[in-house]
Amino acid sequence: MPLVNTKEMFKAAYEGGYAIGAFNVNNMEIIQGIVEAGKKLNAPLILQVSKGARAYANHTYLVKLVEAAVEETGLPIALHLDHGPDFETCKSCIDGGFTSVMIDGSHLPYEENVALTKKVVDYAHAHGVTVEGELGQLAGVEDDVNVSAEDASYTNPDQVYDFVTRTGVDSLAIAIGTSHGAYKFKPGQKPQLRFDILEEVSKKLPGFPIVLHGASSVVPEFVEIINNYGGEMPDAIGIPEEMLRQSAQMAVCKINIDSDLRLAMTAAIRKYMAENPSHFDPRQYLKPAREAIQGMVEHKINTVLGCGGKA
Ligand code: G3H
Ligand code: 13P
Ligand code: ZN
């Protein structure tokens, strides 16, 4: 099976009350860990690449690695551009083998977001590529964009029908209180998501796939390992898993996870290095790192996404 776009995945996910995991990839071990989990649990996958990942690992290396993952596993896998910053980057990914792109115009004035998103949709659809747009702004850091909690804004449900019909997007990322990175809530603050907004949005867009960014749970077990082995991540707090599960049973069909993979990988490497100070063969510490990624993705599929057995 070749790489797929997200159309059929999202249709089945919406109807089945589950979500597809969209995992950020930056190197071979991350890709291998994710797809091993997908293979074991027979889960469809979205592997997503940010502007920063393309700059780090090179477009062609990432595409070839993901193509190898498809060949090795036979799973339905979509290769997606995460937070596409402009038309040119989206076009380069569409021309270069991606099957899905996000155009992130969420920081733009509404009409500019509509115009840019429509331009990407027109080009993408002519090439069989699906498009994710965004309305509303999450707090947190992604690539070189840093949005403070004060500047973040929830999605306005009154805009979503107009945005989706005028742009032709295939899915829509909304802001309901998730945020990028490992510090999503202040210590002592009660984690909360605006399920009322999600509910309103899905009433305006019946059957339409919604995307949640900033959806790592910042699994405490891994933060603890990092802190126990010389790291300093005090007060790292994520989205409670039961809230994510609830959103997956609603209209959310794609849940973005990056920080939890970073934590799992870093925790495994820190622990290995501390316990084996004389080792210096990268394979020795990248093997447990890859296994930690696999374990994290299996956990997400079983506990949060509900997409096991749906490939
Ligand atoms: O939302 C952003 C993702 O976590 C990607 O992060 O831009 O550092 O690659 P990055
Ligand atoms: P996290 O930082 O919560 O993993 O979010 C990742 C994300 O939204 C990628 O687009
Ligand atoms: Zn994101």
Res. 1 pLDDT band, cuts 50 70 90? confident
pLDDT for position 172:
98
CA of 49 to the centre of ligand 1 (A): 8
Structural domain includes residue 73: yes
Q: Which spans in the chain are helix H?
A: 7-16, 28-41, 51-57, 59-73, 87-95, 110-125, 157-167, 195-204, 220-228, 241-249, 259-275, 282-300
Structural domain includes residue 230: yes
What CATH number did the domain enclosing 97 receive?
3.20.20.70
Closest residue CA from atom 3 of ligand 1: 142
- % of the chain residues with pLDDT over 90: 94
Structural domain includes residue 1: no
Average pLDDT over residues 73-96: 98
pLDDT at residue 105 is higher than 70: yes
The overall pTM is greater than 0.85: yes
pLDDT at residue 268 is higher than 70: yes
Average pLDDT over residues 3-24: 98
Q: Which two tokens stand for residue 273?
A: 């290095």
pLDDT for position 260:
98
Residues forming a β-bridge with 137: 153
pLDDT at residue 144 is higher than 80: no
Structural domain includes residue 311: no
Mutate to test the pocket of ligand 2, among 258, 261, 296, 299 (most ligand atoms within 8 A of CB): 258
Residues with C-beta less than 6 Å from any ligand 2 atom:
24, 82-83, 180-181, 213-216, 256-260
Q: Are 207 and 242 in contact (CB under 8 A)?
A: no
Average pLDDT over residues 109-135: 98
pLDDT at residue 145 is higher than 70: no
Q: Are 143 and 52 in contact (CB under 8 A)?
A: yes
Task: Give the closest ligand to the alpha carbon of residue 261.
Answer: 2
pLDDT for position 85:
98
pLDDT at residue 148 is higher than 80: no
Task: Give the closest ligand to the alpha carbon of residue 258.
Answer: 2
In eight-state DSSP terms, residue 27 is: S
Q: Are 117 and 83 in contact (CB under 8 A)?
A: no
Cβ < 5 A residues, ion ligand 3: 213
Task: Give the closest ligand to the alpha carbon of residue 259.
Answer: 2
Compute the residue count for the chain.
Answer: 311
Structural domain includes residue 18: yes
Structural domain includes residue 218: yes
Provide CB contacts within 8 A for 259, sequence distance 6+: 180, 181, 182, 216, 218, 238
Q: Are 239 and 296 in contact (CB under 8 A)?
A: no
Structural domain includes residue 145: yes
pLDDT for position 139:
75
CA of 26 to the centre of ligand 1 (A): 10
Res. 196 pLDDT band, cuts 50 70 90? very high
Determine whether 82 is an active site residue.
Answer: yes
Query: What count of Cα atoms within 13 Å lies in the side-chain half-sphere of residue 248?
Result: 25
The H or E element spanning position 19 is none
pLDDT at residue 140 is higher than 90: no
Provide CB contacts within 8 A for 269, sequence distance 6+: 285, 286, 288, 289
Average pLDDT of the chain, as a whole number: 96
One-letter amino acid identity for 1?
M
Higher-confidence position of 138 and 219:
219
Q: Which atom of ligand 2 is nearest to the CA of 238?
A: 3
Average pLDDT over residues 49-53: 98
pLDDT at residue 119 is higher than 90: yes
> 25-41 pLDDT, tens per residue?
999 999 999 999 999 99
Closest among 247, 244, 245 to 201, alpha carbons compared: 247
Closest among 95, 144, 153 to 120, alpha carbons compared: 95
Average pLDDT over residues 243-264: 98
pLDDT at residue 143 is higher than 80: no
For residue 305, the Cα-to-chain-centroid distance in whole angstroms is 12
Structural domain includes residue 187: yes
Provide CB contacts within 8 A for 226, sequence distance 6+: 233, 263, 266, 267, 270
Q: Which atom of ligand 1 is nearest to the CA of 140?
A: 1
Average pLDDT over residues 196-214: 98
pLDDT for position 249:
98
Provide CB contacts within 8 A for 83, sequence distance 6+: 50, 51, 102, 104, 142, 143, 145
Find the domain containing 212 and state its range.
7-305
DSSP-assigned states of every residue in 103-163: E--TTS-HHHHHHHHHHHHHHHHTTT-EEEEEESB-BEEETTEEE-TTT-B---HHHHHHH
**Rounded Cα gap, residues 240 and 218, in angstroms:** 9
Q: Which atom of ligand 1 is nearest to the CA of 52?
A: 9
pLDDT at residue 225 is higher than 70: yes
State the total domains in the chain. Answer: 1
Q: Which atom of ligand 1 is nearest to the CA of 56?
A: 9
pLDDT at residue 226 is higher than 80: yes
Closest residue CA from atom 10 of ligand 1: 143
